[in-house]
């Protein structure tokens, strides 16, 4: 299957976001692919507020079934969430459960004024009522396959298709 060019999609998102960001905008990327994407967007957009990163392991809804995720990273939100307009960034939007967990976690930091979702790819098959405000591309992915974002040593972003 022909995968879209992640770099090109990234540039598209930068174009879409540039008119809506302000000096007060907070951006939060979801580990791991969302954080990579957010780092790039944050840099390209020259955002004033430092970047936040979320690890949603402690908010997932599959803890009882699958246990704690094997590698947990620390979440860091180096700004005040309260009353701020946030951009929540993830690489691939799928069932929507990751975004649900991320929003719950963000609200434990404070009450934001708004959250807008930025996704590089929307692969559909939502299981919750979640939709992206800014999206690079929609792509149908076969069952049993996982779409992931890669970043090489030079920082170049690319999409990868793995077996689940």
Partner 1 sequence: MTNPQSQGQLSANGELVHLLTLEGLPREIIVRILDTAQSFLGVTEREVKKVPLLRGMSVFNVFFENSTRTRTTFEIAAKRLSADVINLNVSTSSTTKGETLLDTVDNLAAMHADMFVVRHSQSGAAHMIARHVGPERHVINAGDGRHAHPTQGLLDAYTIRHYKKDFSGLTVAIVGDILHSRVARSLIHVLNILGTPEVRVIAPQTLLPAGVESLGVRVFPDMRKGLAGADVVVMLRLQNERMRGALLPSAQEFFKYYGLTPEKLALAKPDAIVMHPGPMNRGIEIDSAVADGPHSVILPQVTFGIAVRMAVMSILGGA
Per CB under 8 A, residues contacting partner 1 are 55, 57-59, 63-64, 66-68, 70-77, 82, 104-105, 107-110
Measured from the CB atom, the residue of 110 and 155 that comes closer to partner 1 is 110
In the complex, what is the shortest distance from the CB of residue 83 to partner 1, in angstroms, rounded to a whole number? Answer: 12
Measured from the CB atom, the residue of 32 and 133 that comes closer to partner 1 is 32
Q: Could you tell me the CA-to-CA distances from 56 to 11, 35, 106, 124 in Å, in that order? A: 26, 12, 10, 21
| Largest interatomic CA distance in the chain | 43
Measured from the CB atom, the residue of 32 and 57 that comes closer to partner 1 is 57
Contact 112, 81 (CB under 8 A): yes
In the complex, what is the shortest distance from the CB of residue 42 to partner 1, in angstroms, rounded to a whole number? Answer: 20
In the complex, what is the shortest distance from the CB of residue 98 to partner 1, in angstroms, rounded to a whole number? Answer: 15
Q: What's the CA gap between 17 and 85, in Å, rounded?
A: 13
- Neighbour count for residue 47 (Cβ, 10 Å): 20
């Amino acid at each position: 299957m022909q995968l879209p060019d992640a770099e090109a999609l990234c540039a598209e998102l930068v174009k879409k976001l540039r008119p809506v960001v302000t000096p007060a905008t907070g951006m939060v990327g979801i580990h791991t692919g969302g954080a990579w994407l957010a780092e790039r967007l944050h840099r390209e957009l020259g955002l004033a507020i430092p970047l936040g990163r979320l690890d949603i392991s402690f908010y997932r809804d599959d803890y009882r079934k699958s246990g704690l995720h094997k590698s947990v990273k620390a979440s860091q939100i180096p700004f005040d969430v309260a009353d701020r307009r946030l951009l929540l960034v993830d690489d691939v939007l799928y069932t929507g459960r990751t975004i649900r967990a991320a929003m719950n976690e963000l609200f434990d930091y404070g009450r934001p004024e708004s959250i807008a979702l930025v996704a590089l790819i929307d692969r559909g098959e939502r299981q919750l009522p979640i939709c992206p405000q800014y999206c690079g591309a929609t792509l149908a992915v076969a069952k049993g396959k996982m779409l992931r974002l890669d970043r090489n040593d030079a920082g170049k972003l690319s999409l990868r298709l793995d077996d689940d």
